Structure 1
Amino acid sequence: MTTAFITGATSGIGKAMALSLSEAGYEVYAVGRSKAALGELRAAQPGITPIAVDVTDRDALESVLSDLHIDVLINNAGMMPPLGNFADMKISDIDATLEVNLSAAIMLTRLVVPQMRERQSGHIIFTGSSAAHTAFPNVAVYSATKAAIAGFAAALRADVMQYGIRVTEIVPGRVETELYKDILDEKARAAMYAGNVAVQPSDVAAMVLALLALPAWADVTRFDIMPTRPTTPSGTK
């Protein structure tokens, strides 16, 4: 059975990918910090193996990975710091964003890619963002981490393609997830997703299943998935 190791699997895009891949027959290792949320995920799909670990805890990650065979690595865990002008950001928020969105993904990839190289196969997927490729106000550090992920994915591909390892960057636009849950109030979030025009996590998961189904000689290096009818942050069309 093909295995998939998915970080940030307790909500949003990560949860949707975990459920979809498990339903498609993958042996899924779902990684997250919330034991309660992982328990709910396991209850919804008994074939999923929950792993409660913080992706920034390198020693814990290394211990978890020591005995696992991983065919598909999905670096999905991420965070959005409070929105605002860069000059007003707390240093702690900058550090946390860099650690979760960038350093953890690079370290996890480093822990997994040697076994893929040895087998001459594997697929590494990164959940990026349209903010990596288009400038938006009030998200400077978040954009920087996602742009770094884009650059890392491209350079990683150049390093590992000779070993039959595929690398894909997912570039979503506005997806209706809990990313803004802790930094926007309910009214602002309602406005953001007004009109039911946002991409859904299940849409991203469907695209991931499609690219994983391609033959080994075909690599989707990047796919952008955007709302057909995008809205502004205020919810207006």
Structure 2
Amino acid sequence: MNSTLHFRHALVTGASSGIGRAIARRLVEDGVHVFAVGRDKDALDALAAEGGVTPVTLDLRDPSLLHDVFETHEIDVVVNNAGLLPAVVKFDACSLDDIDSMIDVNLRAPLRLAHMALEGMIRRRRGHLFFIGSSAGRFPHPNTAVYGATKAAISLFCDSLRCDLLGSRVRVTEIAPGRVQTNLYRTALGEQLASEKLYDAYRSIQPADIAELISTALRLPESVDVSRLEVFPTDQAPGGSQIVPNTP
């Protein structure tokens, strides 16, 4: 029997594509039923058609609709993966709407979801909260000041939350990756520029790699909590701007 089967239900945000989709599929392989949250209904329906997934289509700027999921199901794994980076620009060129959206999706929504999830987790004395952070929240990156600030806040929140949960048997894990090949920068820079500037010449982390880390953390004995995983492409230094092209 798979060692993660004592976790029966998980909720994964940003599951329409990229890291979230890979995590949802990996958890299903581990025998966990996944509530896949995202904005793209067609993509979520396609994911659900593969089995083991209940699609939940909503905008995380208002996550209140997820109350019913937590009230009617024992959600023991929550993966706060959804992230927003509307543009890669200097702070003074960042629109106020983009600032608000990043705070809403990258910070406010994960905190509210954790708050919803913890009532049941603490009562049942089991559960695992995951937060997909970023190297941008651990080290300064140019032209991503607000995004980095939200991810830095998530990182410190995880540390403080872990203190609050001592003795509850609820685990908290932050995963702070470097460059992952997803739609995040494609949205901010456009498909062609993102490929040329960030991906074509480099070896990036793949979404499945992050999903494997989550599966591994869940398989560990409940007495072991992987508090933070900083993971980078082999060719990227933690500072973020130091990355070299892939060479044979």
Q: Which residue does 1:136 correspond to in 2? A: 141
Shift of 1:167: 0.2
Which of 27, 36, 40 lines up with 1:34 in the alignment?
A: 40
Distance 1:181 1:164, change over 3 A: same
2:211 is aligned with 1:205:
yes
Residue equivalent to 1:218: 224
TM superposition shift of 1:230:
2.9
1:176 maps onto 2:185 in alignment = no
Structure 1 unaligned runs (5+)? none
Which residue in 2 is equivalent to 1:165? 170
SS at match of 1:10: coil
Structure 2 partner of 1:22: 28
Q: Give deviations 1:157-216, integer Å, cap 9, x for gaps.
A: 111121001000001100000112222133321121123500000011111111100000
Letter of the aligned partner of 1:201 in structure 2? P
2:198 aligned with 1:190: no
Out of 45, 53, 76, the position equivalent to 1:48 is 53
Whole-angstrom CA distance in 2 between matches of 1:147 and 1:78: 13
- CA displacement, residues 106-156 of structure 1 (integer Å, 9 cap, x when unaligned): 011101101101011110000000001111110000000000000111111
- Between the aligned partners of 1:208 and 1:165, the Cα distance in structure 2 is 15
* 8 Å Cα contact 1:79-1:97 kept in structure 2: yes
Matched residues in 2 for 1:82 and 1:131: separation? 14
Q: Which runs of 5+ in 2 are unaligned?
A: none
In 1, Cα distance between equivalents of 2:55 and 2:202: 31
TM-score w.r.t. the length of structure 1 is 0.94
2:131: which partner in 1? Answer: 126
Work out the CA distance in 2 between the residues paired with 1:15 and 1:22.
11
**Deviation at residue 42 of structure 1 after TM alignment:** 1.3
TM-score, normalising length from structure 2?
Answer: 0.90
Following TM superposition, by how much is the alpha carbon of 1:87 offset from its aligned partner in structure 2, in angstroms?
1.2
CA displacement at 1:91 relative to structure 2:
0.6
Distance 1:72 1:236 in 2: 36
User: Does structure 1 residue 66 correspond to structure 2 residue 71?
Assistant: yes
In structure 2, distance between residues paired with 1:129 and 1:208: 15
How many residue pairs were aligned?
A: 236
Q: 1:117 to 1:234 in 2, by over 3 A?
A: closer
Q: Structure 1: which 4+ aligned runs deviate by more than 6 Å?
A: 231-235
The residue number in structure 1 matching 2:110 is 105
Aligned match for 1:116, one of 118, 121, 146: 121
After TM superposition, give the deviation of residue 234 of structure 1 in Å: 11
Q: Contact 1:6–1:28 (CA<8 Å) still a contact in 2?
A: yes
Moved more, 223-232 or 65-74: 223-232
CA contact (8 A) 1:171 1:223 kept: yes
Between 1:189-198 and 1:147-156, the stretch displaced more is 189-198
Which amino acid in 1 is paired with 2:45?
G
CA distance in 1, matches of 2:244, 2:132: 27
Name the SS for the 2:31 alignment partner. Answer: coil
Name 1:7's counterpart in structure 2. Answer: 13
Deviations 1:46-100 (A, max 9, x none): 1111111222224312233321211111111111121111112111110000000
